[in-house]
Amino acid sequence: MSWFSRASALPLLVAGAFFMENLDGTVIVTAMPQMAAAFGVRAVDMNIGISAYILTLTVFIPASGWIANRFGARNIFAAAVVIFTLASVLCAASVNLPTFTAARILQGFGGALMVPVGRLVVLRNTAKPDLIKAIATITWPGLVAPILGPPVGGFITTYASWHWIFLLNVPLGVAALWLAWRLIPQEALQKGVPFDAIGFMLTGIACFGLMFGLDLINHPQLSWLVPVLCILGSLALGALAVRHAKRTAHPLIDLWAMRIKSYAVTIWGGALFRIAIGAVPFLLPLLFQIGFGLNAFDAGLLVLAVFAGNLAMKPFTSAVLYRFRFRTTLVVNGLLNAATIFACALLTPQTPTWLIVALLFVSGLTRSMQFTALNTLAFSEVPQPQMGGANTLFTVSQQLGSGLGIAIGALALRVAEMLIPPSAGRLPLVDFQLAFGVIGVIALLAVADSLTLNPDAGSEVRRKKSPSSAPAGADESVATKARS
């Protein structure tokens, strides 16, 4: 297979695997009542299956970089696809909640390896000038799946059965495994680097505790003290993990890339942006159902306008990044994104449907553009030897940012309820207006961080590749293949 075709096909392979993983994490939501009935439990009890999956992802993602270097990225990516696919079969075969939860934990372990290792494969085998197109390709699953998941899950559950939500992963997994073995080049293994067990425990417990504490916010029957103590304890462990990473010779998560300004902005400002866009898909269906009184189906149709905006922007993201500087794109597009979030606070049941759809469509456009710009800028100035550590830290930041978005959206609703008690004669709509206002401010803070970028940040990946250039890592891969 030529290097041109391999360089083009690798991002598509990884994007397909990402879509399978991302869709599986969201499609289950609408199937929960039917699954609960099959397991003989309450629908609310099914949350443990979702939580177990997310928490497993959070704990094991930090170890993915070391595992890929030690056993080979191709081997680990293929193994992750196998684990994820087999776990999907076990989910479909589950007969009660404990067996389903165990299968979801196994599935989460596969996903924790598949996502970061897949991105690492693309980064190591893509030349800098090709990075914009490659990142644009592997970014779309994270944009599309959260919006597409609920209606797809509802369709499958209504016209087939909830088992097919998981069984559909089998042919996808088999195809991904075959293509991975064909497309991903074998790499030299790094056998001399010890596993950072202390870093793994500190990072894993900190991430687990933070996500668990954030999840507790969604349980109003609990005292505020419980999630607050859990979150504060996790932050303290996180600080110890950072201190350990700076002092040990071979840290599990290498923080070296944080010295690069463009990368640091995608971590700090990028986390704020991911919080904002993670909260919006959580708040919108609740706004339309509780605030507007729509049924779940009609609310879902309105939210699909965001998905349409995501898809409509995708063909143009690369052209925009080649035409305009990263700082300009992130600032202008970030302001537009924040404006759409603030505009959501102004929606009422009397707002014309066409105007709501238009607003959400524009929101999807800006969401897609910002996502691609941040994901590309993150690795634009990172040297190849540091790519593994940078990728692991970036993936952890992505996972935590998404979880924080839902938690902060829920927290904003709870605070609004406390500030404006029911006795004041308020409508539920006021809660959502305050929540969208808070999320809009967070989106603006992300833009402020982008203003600190150097005007020429990421310029290397904005240069068009010459026809004679080869993908990054090609020479090493050819040599490795020749030796084998």
Angle, helices 261-286 vs 296-323, to 10°: value is 160
Among 11, 44, 47, 25, smallest CA distance to 133 is for 11
Q: Are the beta carbons of 364 and 309 closer than 8 angstroms? A: yes
| Over residues 399-416, mean pLDDT | 82
pLDDT (0 to 100) of residue 421? 65
pLDDT (0 to 100) of residue 422? 56
Report CA dihedral (271, 273, 278, 279) to the nearest 10 degrees: 110
Confidence of residue 297 (pLDDT cuts 50, 70, 90): confident
pLDDT in tens, 224-243: 888 889 999 999 999 999 99
Higher pLDDT, 26 or 110: 110
Q: Residue 24: which residues within 8 A CB-CB, separation 6 or more?
A: 88, 107, 111, 165, 166, 169
Strand, coil or helix: 426 = coil
pLDDT in tens, 346-390: 999 999 999 999 999 999 999 999 989 999 999 999 998 888 889
Rounded to whole angstroms, the Cα distance separating 482 from 471 reads 18
Rounded to whole angstroms, the Cα distance separating 317 from 334 reads 14
Q: Lowest-confidence range among 35-39, 292-296, 461-465?
A: 461-465
| Over residues 213-223, mean pLDDT | 77
Mean confidence (pLDDT) of the chain = 86
* DSSP secondary structure letter of residue 324: S
Q: Lowest-confidence range among 28-42, 257-271, 456-470?
A: 456-470
Confidence of residue 4 (pLDDT cuts 50, 70, 90): very low
pLDDT in tens, 21-68: 888 777 777 777 788 889 998 876 787 887 888 889 889 999 999 999
Question: Is the alpha carbon torsion for 279, 283, 285, 286 positive or negative?
Answer: positive
Strand, coil or helix: 248 = coil
CATH architecture of 256-453: Up-down Bundle (1.20)
Q: Are the beta carbons of 189 and 69 closer than 8 angstroms? A: yes
Confidence of residue 7 (pLDDT cuts 50, 70, 90): low
Among 324, 207, 367, 420, smallest CA distance to 215 is for 207
Q: 162 to each of 17, 68, 94, 166, 192, how far by Cα in Å?
A: 21, 34, 11, 8, 46
Say whether pLDDT at 472 is over 50: no
Strand, coil or helix: 19 = helix
Rounded to whole angstroms, the Cα distance separating 114 from 145 reads 16
Say whether pLDDT at 477 is over 80: no
Place of tokens 């202008």: 332
Q: Residue 441: which residues within 8 A CB-CB, separation 6 or more?
A: none
For 138, phi then psi, to 5°, come to -85, -5
Domain ranges of the chain: 256-453
pLDDT (0 to 100) of residue 481? 36
**pTM reported for the whole predicted model:** 0.84
Among 407, 441, 465, 472, smallest CA distance to 51 is for 407
Considering only the C-alpha atoms of the chain, give the largest distance between any 2 of them, rounded to a whole number of Å: 76
pLDDT in tens, 169-196: 999 999 999 999 989 988 878 888 899 9
Query: DSSP assignment of 183-222, as one string?
Result: HSPP-----SSPP-HHHHHHHHHHHHHHHHHHHHTT-TTS
Say whether pLDDT at 211 is over 90: no
| Over residues 240-266, mean pLDDT | 93
